[in-house]
Structure 1
């Protein structure tokens, strides 16, 4: 239960009541856009916030996340098997249903095993990038209304 109503009060649930302060709400998730670190340190930060790197489940969710920053880590990697992109929750990335930046993924220099989302003038969409590079990241936590 999100709140308890007392006599004479009306229920006015807002984003602040559902998502922590400085988090954004979309659908049934809250999102936090961070500062700059590697993919692994970004994921660790998300876990410390009782969240994980974002798992993008639809083009609508991807569109919502596009534009908050030029680049941000998301929760996808192909570290286990090159070319097989998996989300941090163990589900496969819908490589056909989501928008990839032009020519991506390309495993440039054989070392791009972590995913980010880009919003640049001519380079918009998902991208593979070197996991050690410093970038912002997006945490996601789900909520449920009881």
Structure 2
């Protein structure tokens, strides 16, 4: 399998670091078939990172989802984010289709509940607890790294 786990968020903005924090934890385990990447935001250049994948998992902090996290399959959608400096995962999948003329690999989004997003803050204790729950969930996903099995795990 060739799975990409892509966490994004600003490590200098409190709970916005949840995506990169989780990716770092998974990457440290060196799981065969799982590639981990992180960045502060999704950009159109990340389209090339999606090629040749069996599945993609995006991970981001969210101030509005239920705790501890929300996990679901996502699809390509054109939105206004493609014209800004940061894109949504949906817009990135749409850009993939535009660039390559085919659908992107199956993609999923984990939104981890965050609470404090101020510049210079550390992770809040509540977000840290949510990160623990999300980490356990992702480790279980990695035991069965197939989009077909992930589809039955909608959560949140």
Q: Select the structure that is richer in strand.
A: 1
Q: Larger % of helix: which?
A: 2
TM-score, normalised to structure 1, is 0.28
